Amino acid sequence: MNRNIFTLLFVLILGSASMQAQSAAFGIKGGANFSNLTGSQTDMQFITAYHLGGLVEVNLLDFISIQPELLYSLQGANSKAINEKINLHYASLPLIFKVYFLEELSIEAGPQFSVLISDNVENSKVNRTDSSFAAGLGFKLTEHLFLQGRYLFGLTEISKNSETKNQLIQLSAGYKF
């Protein structure tokens, strides 16, 4: 079911972007992830990882746009209990709504849907899908270069065996063509 929703959203986003190609900007981005797992497990610590991928920003109005992205994102945490780093590799699809308060500054928010590509958890019971909500700021340095900062908090548990959810601070730099 979640895969069908993920596929449908991706097709709708690509379709809307192609219909409005004259007001769309394609780009690439990458940056640092400061990731943790929160919830019933209190022995977790942040890890530093990374994300990279592509995006399309489609202008809906002069000051409002939507920015679907397709990212590879490494997330996880350090577990003090088992003295091991938990790595969760995701293909993520953020659907970010942007409101520009200044020509250079935007407030960003929206859902993120992710599919687990791989993990290093022994006898893995990690859910194959994850949902989060993202909120943050974007800043245009030039017509092509931009910076973004987001906080993402998990909406779904990463495993059926625990009440643990993803938590992520994401700092990005990118280039729009």
pTM value? 0.84
Q: Cβ distance 79 to 44 under 8 Å?
A: yes
- pLDDT in single tens digits along all 177 residues of the chain: 556 555 555 555 555 544 444 589 999 999 999 999 998 766 889 999 999 999 999 999 999 999 999 999 999 999 887 788 999 999 999 999 999 999 999 999 999 999 999 999 877 689 999 999 999 999 999 999 999 999 999 999 998 877 889 999 999 999 999
Task: Give the C-alpha distances (Å, rounded to integers) separating 130 from 39, 95, 113, 139, 165.
Answer: 15, 14, 6, 27, 9
Task: Give the C-alpha distances (Å, rounded to integers) separating 140 from 45, 86, 176.
Answer: 32, 34, 10
d(CA 37, CA 31): 19
d(CA 130, CA 32): 19
d(CA 47, CA 164): 16
Q: Cβ distance 146 to 138 under 8 Å?
A: yes
Amino acid (1-letter code) at residue 132 = S
- Per-residue model confidence (pLDDT) at position 131: 97
d(CA 166, CA 177): 32
- Per-residue model confidence (pLDDT) at position 125: 85
- Per-residue model confidence (pLDDT) at position 20: 44
